[in-house]
Structures are given as C-alpha cells and as structure tokens.
C-alpha cells in the first residue's frame, strides 16, 4: 500500500485503524488520547507479548492497572519515545481498562488463582507454586478452595464512586446506612469498576455480604 498517497511506506491495518480514525474525526474531544488496552511491545515483533500462566501474578496485574502515563515508542529507526498523562475529564487516572495477549492457559489464574499471592514460580515438577504456601497449581488446574474464616464484619455496596462521590461522600453514605459504618471507594473486577464499599459490624438481623 506504499504506492498510495499519504501512506509514505507505513503499514495500515484497516480493521485496527478504521474505528479510532473514525472516532477522532467525529468527536476528537470526546475520546481518550491513548489506547485503553494494555499491550507489551518490548519484544519488538509484529505481535505483542503473549502472557502465559507463569507470567500471571498479582504483581503483574497490579502494575498494569496502576499505569497512569501512556508511553509510545515510534516504529521507525529513530525509536522516539513520547509520553503523556492519561486524563479523564482533566484528572489523571489509570490508563487501561483491558489488557492482552493472555493465552488460554492463563484463564484459571486470571479468574481465581492469583488473589493474595506474592510470589509464584515454576518448580522442578512443572507446577506453579506460590512460595510461602504449601499449595501448588498445575497448569490448567483451579486453585484449592480457601478455608472459610468466621465472619466478623460485613461489607455493603452503596453505588458507584466517581467525580461527584469520593471517599468522603462514600463514608457519609455508609455512616448513614449502617451503624458505625465506614466507607471507601475501591476498584473491583477485571474492568476496574470504582465502587463505594461500606465496612460495618454484622448483626443478627443484618448479615448481608457484598
């Protein structure tokens, strides 16, 4: 396609470039100025890095969801680095709502196998082991169920947090809803939904769990 006007010998991936270009033309001020999907191009190949089961750790996902600066390295010989803050209505926020590429073997670890784990390595038998714990995970296996602890406190949701409801607003809602309730805005789920969560002492008549 380099013989066509305006391309200057660069690649054009139609299915990936059409919609971003269309949105930029229709509403340039209403879209994010960066990709909302995290990819790792450090291997400098045609496709981004594919994460395997051994790559998926709590630290990896925490690092991805805490990035608030978008960095772009040009694909030409100059390898110029550009960076800009990820802004939501003028406020710097984490950049990414999604991430890729994760192989099918990472499904169990992404859904249930990494919560609270600090260090995961592959042992001599090909198992994924959480060092500091006696439990290990085989590729494709689900983690063993955790022992249930006595419930002493309950959690209740009070809607979404956002620009009009921060920690202070959330705390006020919880104090009004639950006796001695304390609230904080917390991120939940793979889509980083910002929720107002109340922590309160359970009673015999109020055992609702969030």
| pLDDT digit string, tens, across residues 114-150 | 554 444 454 444 444 444 443 444 444 455 566 665 5
Cα–Cα dist 135/120, whole Å? 11
Phi-psi region of 109 (alpha: psi -120 to 50; beta: other; left: phi over 0): alpha
Domain ranges (residues) in the chain = 32-137, 153-201
Percent of the chain with pLDDT over 90: 1
Q: Which residues, 6 or more positions from 65, have their beta carbon under 8 angstroms from its beta carbon?
A: 94, 96, 187, 192
Kindly report, residue by residue over 7-51, the tens digit of the pLDDT: 555 666 666 678 778 887 888 777 776 778 888 888 878 788 899
pTM comes to 0.43
What one-character DSSP code corresponds to residue 18?
A: H
- Both tokens of 73, joined, read 């390295």
pLDDT band at 210 (very low <50, low <70, confident <90, very high): very low
Kindly report, residue by residue over 39-75, the tens digit of the pLDDT: 888 887 878 889 998 888 888 888 888 898 888 777 7
What one-character DSSP code corresponds to residue 144?
A: P
56-65, 88-97, 149-158: range with lowest mean pLDDT: 149-158
Is residue 173 helix, strand or coil? helix
pLDDT band at 190 (very low <50, low <70, confident <90, very high): low
pLDDT score, position 192: 65
């Amino acid at each position: 396609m380099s013989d066509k006007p305006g391309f200057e010998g660069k690649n054009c991936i139609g299915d990936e470039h059409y919609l971003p270009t269309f949105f930029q033309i229709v509403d340039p001020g209403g879209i994010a100025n960066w990709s909302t999907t995290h990819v790792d191009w450090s291997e400098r190949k045609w496709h981004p890095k594919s994460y395997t089961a051994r790559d998926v750790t709590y630290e990896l996902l925490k690092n991805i969801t805490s990035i608030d600066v978008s960095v772009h390295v040009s694909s030409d010989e100059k390898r110029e680095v550009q960076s800009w803050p990820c802004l939501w209505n003028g406020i710097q926020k984490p950049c990414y709502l999604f991430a890729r590429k994760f192989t099918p073997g990472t499904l169990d670890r992404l859904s249930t196998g990494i919560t609270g784990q600090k260090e995961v390595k592959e042992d001599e038998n090909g198992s994924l082991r959480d060092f500091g714990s006696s439990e290990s995970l085989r590729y494709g296996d689900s983690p063993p169920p955790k022992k249930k602890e006595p419930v002493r406190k309950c959690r209740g949701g009070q809607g979404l947090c956002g620009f009009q409801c921060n920690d202070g607003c959330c705390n006020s809602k919880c104090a009004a809803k639950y006796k001695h309730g304390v609230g904080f805005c917390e991120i939940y789920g793979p889509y980083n939904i910002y929720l107002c969560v109340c922590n309160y002492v359970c009673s015999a008549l109020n055992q609702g769990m969030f």
